[in-house]
Amino acid sequence: MGKNCSCQDSCCGKQDQDPFQIDSVITVEDFTDHLKARLGIKRFDLKVTSGLYKLGSPDDSSPVLVTGNYKLSFDEVRKNLEGHSAWLLVLDTRGINVWCAAGKGTFGTYELCKRIKETKLHEKVSHRKLILPQLGAPGIKAHAVTKDTGFEVSYGPVYAKDLPAFLATGTKTEEMRRIHFSLWERLVLTPIEIQGGLKTLFSGLIIIPFIYFALIHSFQGMWVYLILWLGTFLTGTVLFPVMLPLFPWKSFSLSGIVLGSLWINVISIITFLSWEETLSFSFMAAGLCGYLTFNFTGATTFTCPSGVEKEIKRAIPALITLSSIGLLLGVFFLVRGIWV
């Protein structure tokens, strides 16, 4: 459901035709798209055409809900409105979710006002009220929208699942205003973290010594090094998000440094790693893991830019130092091993 956006479509231009008709059914095809979004497969192609949609059979008194044109956002809204008739105004957020798009201003006042006029919303409904997702607020100046279009902005709940209750009562409970970051919410983000981590130049560089050590050791023992590196990687991208609320300190990179070196020490107990290897790998893993966990700040619902700016000043020099020490130690032990 929902038109997929392509260059031939009028997705970013004017909507000439009548509002698109949609329902609340999530098809197998939709579900596949959701999986793709979570796994990062063609993530930026998961857009729907922006414009005005008819969910069920809305009339001129039906509510108008605004969302972004990311497939996950769009489907989340229509899925939760089963049995309701409503107008859905989809803004062109370039296939990005509402919160991130609001931060960038693509889910913004200008775009909203433009869409209202383009879709001739004034003629479709007799009331002058819009329901926006609360997390769209960083991009919207509610009073400016009213001034420009005559439509009054009402911020709905954070989560689309609360929409039926919000529509029924017209009010938001304290709970509906709050954002969470549950274990499940953290877990669904990890495939993207793994991908993101793999892409970084840093992890590309740090894998080289691991492979090198694996090669100069026997091929028989190579799988241990593979597990060693993979484990470090998964510690930073999966174990850390899972354990997030358990750390006694607030620094993300520090958590990664501790987890990374702990992982190497745990593995060294059960494998044949020499003390030289354990020592140099601990430093390298601390550097890599700290970098990966620091990156998770971008995925959370509770980190602030001023905090990240503060952490980065200490984290980057620390991570570079740790990795360098690990590398130098590794090279030192290697050379000594060959020449002594």
Partner 1 sequence: MGLKYDTSKVTLELDKEKCIACSMCLEVCPHAVFILETNCVEIKNKDRCIECGACAKNCPTEALTVKSGVGCAQAYINSFFNGGDVSCDCSPKDQNKKPCC
Binding pattern for the stretch 10-49 against partner 1, x by CB under 8 A and - elsewhere? -xxx------------------------------xx-x--
Distance of CA 123 to the CA centre of its chain: 37
Residue 261: half-sphere exposure toward Cβ, Cα within 13 Å: 17
Dihedral sign (CA 21, 25, 28, 34): positive
- The interface with partner 1 within residues 200-239 (CB under 8 A) comprises none
Burial tier of 223 (Cβ tally within 10 Å: 0-12, 13-18, 19+): exposed
Closer Cβ to partner 1, 7 or 28, answer by number = 7
CB 235: neighbour CB atoms within 10 A?
A: 23
Stretch that binds partner 1, among 27-35, 97-105, 113-121, 271-279 (CB under 8 A): 97-105
Q: Per CB under 8 A, does 172 bind partner 1?
A: yes
Position 132, amino acid: L
Stretch that binds partner 1, among 103-111, 229-237, 259-267, 331-339 (CB under 8 A): 103-111
**In the 8-state DSSP scheme, what is residue 61?**
T
Our finding on whether 295 is near partner 1 (CB under 8 A) is yes
Q: Could you tell me which stretch among 18-26, 55-63, 292-300, 328-336 binds partner 1 (CB under 8 A)?
A: 292-300
Distance (Å, whole) CA 226 – CA 199: 18
Q: Which is nearer to partner 1, 58 or 133 (CB)?
A: 133
Q: How far is the first Cα of the chain from the last one, in angstroms, to the nearest whole number?
A: 69
Q: Extract the tokens encoding 79.
A: 């899925």
Rounded to whole angstroms, the Cα distance separating 302 from 297 reads 8
Is 26 or 299 the residue whose CB approaches partner 1 more closely?
299
Please state whether beta strands 20-22 and 51-55 pair in parallel, antiparallel, or not at all (unpaired): parallel
3-state secondary structure of 143: helix
Q: What angle do CA 256, 262, 266 make, to 5 degrees?
A: 145
Count residues binding partner 1 (CB under 8 A): 61
Under rule CB under 8 A, residue 262 binds partner 1: no
Minimum distance, C-beta of residue 6 to partner 1, in the bound complex (Å): 8
Q: Which helix (H) or strand (E) holds 211?
A: helix 201-216
Q: Indicate which single residue of 52, 55, 89, 96 sits in contact with partner 1 (rule: CB under 8 A).
A: 96
Q: Which part of the chain contacts partner 1 (CB under 8 A), choosing from 205-213, 242-250, 255-263, 268-276?
A: 242-250
Is residue 195 within the footprint of partner 1 (CB under 8 A)? no
Please identify which residue in 312, 320, 328, 331 interacts with partner 1, judged by CB under 8 A.
Answer: 312
Q: Using CB under 8 A as the criterion, which residues of the chain lie in contact with partner 1 when the complex forms?
A: 5, 7, 11-13, 44-45, 47, 94-96, 100, 102-104, 106, 134-135, 137-143, 155, 158, 172, 174, 177-179, 181, 196, 244-248, 250-252, 294-295, 297-298, 300-312, 315-316
